[in-house]
Amino acid sequence: MLLNRVYSRFSLLSITHNLPLSPPQIPKTCFLRFHRRNPTKPMKSSVVSRFSNLAPLCSFAEKSAVNPNGSVEGEGEDNSSLPNGYRLPPKEIRDIVDAPPLPLLSFSPHRDKILFLKRRSLPPLSDLARPEEKLAGVRIDGSYNARSRMSFYTGIGIHSLSDDGTLGPETEVHGFPDGAKINFVSWSRDGRHLSFSIRVDEEDNSSKLRVWVADVESGKARPLFQSPDIYLNAIFDNYTWIDSSTLLVCTIPLSRGAPPKKPLVPSGPKIQSNEQQNIIQVRTFQDLLKDEYDEDLFDYYATSQLVLASLDGTMKPIGPPAVYTSLDPSPDENYLLVTSIHRPYSFIVPCGRFPKKVELWTTDGKFVREICDLPLAEDIPIAFNSVRKGKRSINWRADKPSTIYWVETQDGGDAKVEASPRDIVYMQSAEPADGEEPEVLHKLDLRYGGISWCDDSLALVYESWYKTRRTRTWVISPDNKEVNPRILFDRSSEDVYSDPGSPMLRRTPSGTYVIAKIKRQDKGGYLLLNGNGATPEGNIPFLDLFDINTGSKERIWESNKEKYYETVVALMSDYNDGELDMDQLKILTSKESKTENTQYSVQIWPEKKAFQITKFPHPYPQLASLQKEMIRYQRKDGVQLTATLYLPPGYNPSKDGPLPCLVWSYPGEFKSKDAAGQVRGSPNEFAGIGPTSPLLWLARGFAILSGPTIPIIGEGDEEANDRYVEQLVASAEAAVEEVIRRGVAHPNKIAIGGHSYGAFMTANLLAHAPHLFCCGVARSGAYNRTLTPFGFQNEDRTLWEATNTYVKMSPFMSANKIKKPILLIHGEEDNNSGTLTMQSDRFFNALKGHGALCRLVILPFESHGYSARESILHVLWETDRWLQTYCIDNSDKPVDLDAPKSDTSEDVEKKSFTASGGVPDREGLEQDESHSVTRSLLW
């Protein structure tokens, strides 16, 4: 999903993990880990991070018809279309989108070297047009035998990092073919080598991935395997470092033949049955298996042969071919946790719910024992905090050589079942003695949320419950049962003002991460808590020295709050065992302002002197002097709201008068008014502009109200969505009234827009608050909730449990009320479980059937977010044309804020049923569209 708050141009990559004391819901964003495990492998749930582990933010390389900046060679400055019929937005927008992306960074395990991972701008549409297989919730490029539409790097530069922050000359990694596409970059445990995959597109459009290694000192790269016939299988896990000289690689079996052929005549009808009358409720999943042929094709591409490969060229296949999804070496390098999935498969859930087996092997491939073999999980309840039955979150203790721990639910995995305890955490050595039973580590009454390990005497265990937003952090002594567990923090996850921060972690020589203990003046036992520092004036990040025994804190670092926004990214003095000396503390920090790009510095104690290590240029200097302000205002029910107001460079309200205004937002659910009114974000953050960001229209003279809070609150036993329309309209009214009061927005030239759930919001506001906005732009939305009957977004009641709510919330049911112009945009291959392309098709037909002024743009090959340069530029052209025609040129009468605002809930309900003739038949299901608007960060 492309959102305006994802700073893909200049975000750096992760070097460690700070674990929250009260883990919130994990947003979707992109970063890369740099420790012993595969950099694209998802983090286990034992490591609860603020950001999920997805593929690095980077771009496809352009083909010969496109220059390195992504623009078409020979394209005239004033051309309004591309040769293939796609249109171009105005040059002032195009120049920002085509600005060269900055490299991403990766630090070595010893923090003495930095990689600059180079990338290019937006990919051409031809890259998205490559054939792909949609199997079991996974999209596969069969020619690569990898996930389709993989981003890549174009080069790797290595710099040494001195103690004073200066960078040495660049050593370019070399030796691989020109035009190679680089993926899965990872450091060896000792930092002396890099591993990565290479693919080079051939004329026949078939180029599989090969594993390469490079010497860090010389930059010389070479293939890992001497045989040219050994290829990487990158459908699931791909490779991992076992030690500093050995990798375990998922390869395509040498014995594999051609793909199975689809039979011309099916073997029989497709039959699903529930003659046992089981209750199975699933949200709408996409790209599922459809028949036996799909099952065979999934096995064909996903099956791997594991191979141990040493840097000296020796190799050894281990284990049988199987669909391996995770490879996890023990810290002492003696064992492997090997996870695979197997038949019977399912036609109603994706592969993450297929039968799953976890086995313990030695690192040379000898089977030790089976940890678990979980059955197909089609029946996980849709209620939040429901989980799979059986052992889950199986991991190695980060502070032990080879100790396994896991969690087992006590409520059958159903969040609606009352149980105490609800989860139990167990622990056991890799090879237990005869008769040795698993040890109960901790019992939890909420849902398990992860563990931060430190040593024998300290670990932090997290639990939370979505319905109440309660989150708790326990202090336990893992190897001393005489010490009773105690609650360290018990708070609401929504209360950002009370967030104490996350313990900073240090990297161990074995490549794991544990809580960093700090000693000061010969007294130890301190932790470092790194927090966002949310305040009513905005975030003021901090670093606290925290006494785990007494709970006392001392603030040892805090962001400049007058002009800059600074954050602590990671420890840079974290490699050695034992406690870290406070006087030798070294941290990596970032610093930015409203108009200054993010730069990174190393700060050293006790002087706290900072050495800047990057000098990134401003990515769009034409907007360097844009105006940004975090504003606060109040909803009519007393809820405090916030938004970020952006104004064009040089704009003066008193001299220039009100501007056309674009409001862009995304609703959120809360359990309390106080939490909904808390300020999130900082007024001093750099204004990052992504390729589809609404901030692009600053270059066209618009005022932009970005992210005005649209809280949907359900206090106590009330469900938030029961008053969705009422609260949505009230929040929008308050936002519009505020920008008009400030004199920056022309009353009858205010447009509303959003992506995904923001598109749903946009359509609802045009239906229920037509007095506020002159037009709307809705991208990749879902508009008919009866097509998602088993829950959507954060709604976990079914259509039959909350019929009125589903109907009232659906703008499809109010299509007859939408009189303002609305532009609908959708990717033809949308893979998001909440937003079938059909949703926009049917909504457009409903609008057209009532004579609404509307336009539908379907983007070939695009998914939920848009990737190709042609598609993105066309989306910007469509949006700019819409805003120019129906916002800037709008001559309707001004907004009357005293006019009747919206229908009552009862009226909405009656009119919705009248317009629809009742509840439509169910034609699809939907999974949760949990999207997060989160900035990518270097940790």
SS3 assignment, position 876: helix
Task: Report whether 604 contacts 617 (CB < 8 A).
Answer: no
The token pair at 887 is 């916002």
The rounded distance, in Å, linking the Cα atoms of 185 and 239 is: 11
Q: How many residues does the chain have?
A: 939
Task: Report whether 377 contacts 351 (CB < 8 A).
Answer: no
The rounded distance, in Å, linking the Cα atoms of 123 and 127 is: 7
Active-site residue flag, 864 = yes
Q: What's the CA angle centered on 74, arms 71 and 79, to 5 degrees?
A: 75
Task: Report whether 534 contacts 681 (CB < 8 A).
Answer: no
166 Cα distance to chain centroid: 32
The rounded distance, in Å, linking the Cα atoms of 55 and 140 is: 15
Q: What's the CA angle centered on 908, arms 902 and 912, to 5 degrees?
A: 135
**Pairing mode of beta strands 181-187, 193-199:** antiparallel
Burial degree of 248 (CB within 10 A; 0-12, 13-18, 19+): buried
Whole-Å CA distances, 80 to 90, 94, 133, 690? 8, 11, 34, 21
Task: Report whether 117 contacts 173 (CB < 8 A).
Answer: no
SS3 assignment, position 696: helix
The token pair at 479 is 């190897």
Task: Report whether 156 contacts 115 (CB < 8 A).
Answer: yes
Start-to-end CA span in the chain (Å): 22
Whole-Å CA distances, 766 to 713, 720, 812, 879, 909? 21, 21, 12, 17, 17
Whole-Å CA distances, 228 to 209, 212, 235, 872, 915? 11, 12, 20, 38, 64
Residues 6+ apart with CB under 8 A from 522: none
Burial 335-354 (b: 16+ CB within 10 A, else e): bbbbbbbeeebbeebbbebb
Catalytic residue, chosen from 830, 880, 903, 928, is 830
The token pair at 175 is 């030796």
Catalytic residue, chosen from 35, 864, 874, 931, is 864
The token pair at 677 is 């009114």
**Pairing mode of beta strands 609-612, 599-604:** antiparallel
Task: Report whether 272 contacts 347 (CB < 8 A).
Answer: yes
Active-site residue flag, 141 = no
Q: On the CB side of 524, how many CA atoms lie within 13 Å of its CA?
A: 6
The token pair at 407 is 């969690």
Task: Report whether 540 contacts 558 (CB < 8 A).
Answer: yes
Burial 429-462 (b: 16+ CB within 10 A, else e): ebeeeeeeebbebbbbebbbbbbbbbbeebbbbb
Catalytic residue, chosen from 22, 756, 863, 867, is 756
Active-site residue flag, 756 = yes
Query: Which letter does DSSP use for residue 354 in this model?
Result: S
Burial 174-185 (b: 16+ CB within 10 A, else e): eebeeebbbbbb
Task: Report whether 109 contacts 575 (CB < 8 A).
Answer: yes
Look at the alpha carbons of 726, 727, 730, 736 in this order and tell me if their dihedral is positive or negative.
Answer: negative
Residues assigned a catalytic role: 756, 830, 864
